Chain A
Amino acid sequence: NAGVTQTPKFQVLKTGQSMTLQCAQDMNHNSMYWYRQDPGMGLRLIYYSASEGTTDKGEVPNGYNVSRLNKREFSLRLESAAPSQTSVYFCASSGPGQALHSNQPQHFGDGTRLSIL
């Protein structure tokens, strides 16, 4: 039972480098999410995808792009990394309810720890 798998688990980047964080879920969930977690600030939503083919901005989308590659995979891209993007990034998924039934619990991966120098 893999659930939500994130790769890589750790990464160090230099300012200005680009990188894509990968996320895949095997629970046939419709919805997928990307969060960042910073000390004292809890989980903040970056982008989400309510269903395959759709993506929407969350609370802190600036500096990020996402791609819902298929139902299983949702990637997060940093085009030009900045030190302020040093954080722990979590991917989550929920479903398989219909789009209007949004209250399905979200299941999280173990995170990607990203440091930008």
Chain B
Amino acid sequence: GQQLNQSPQSMFIQEGEDVSMNCTSSSIFNTWLWYKQDPGEGPVLLIALYKAGELTSNGRLTAQFGITRKDSFLNISASIPSDVGIYFCAGGVQGAQKLVFGQGTRLTINP
């Protein structure tokens, strides 16, 4: 089946630093989604990407839909303590009615 490789698995950074994470796949996706999960809660959608090459921002977050449609990137600028959590990428294929999720990137911020 389709799989997403999300990296890094964990990150330990200082407050104020920029963060980059990515997801790659051997398969083509028509949709890329990025979610954040806080402890004890369900994942919350951050950014949705629907077109190859698309670059979309949501505040300090920026995500890109790779031109090959096999990857996506999420960047967080000037990290703050509330950015702590697990970030998931998810890919969708038109007609499949399902999403494939990456294994997550756990972000820890040292004050």
Contacts and interface: CB of A to CB of B under 8 A. Distances in A.
A69 interface: no
Q: Give the interface size class of chain B.
A: 20 to 34
A103 B6 CA distance: 20
Q: Tell me whether chain A's interface is mostly helix, strand or loop, or mixed.
A: loop
Interface of B: 1, 6, 30-31, 33, 35, 40-45, 48, 50, 88, 90, 92-99, 101-104
Interface string A81-117: 0000000001010000001111101111111000000
Interface residues of A, number: 27
Contacts of A33: 98
Contacts of A110: 40-42
Contact of B98 (A58, A90, A107): A58
B44 A108 contact: yes
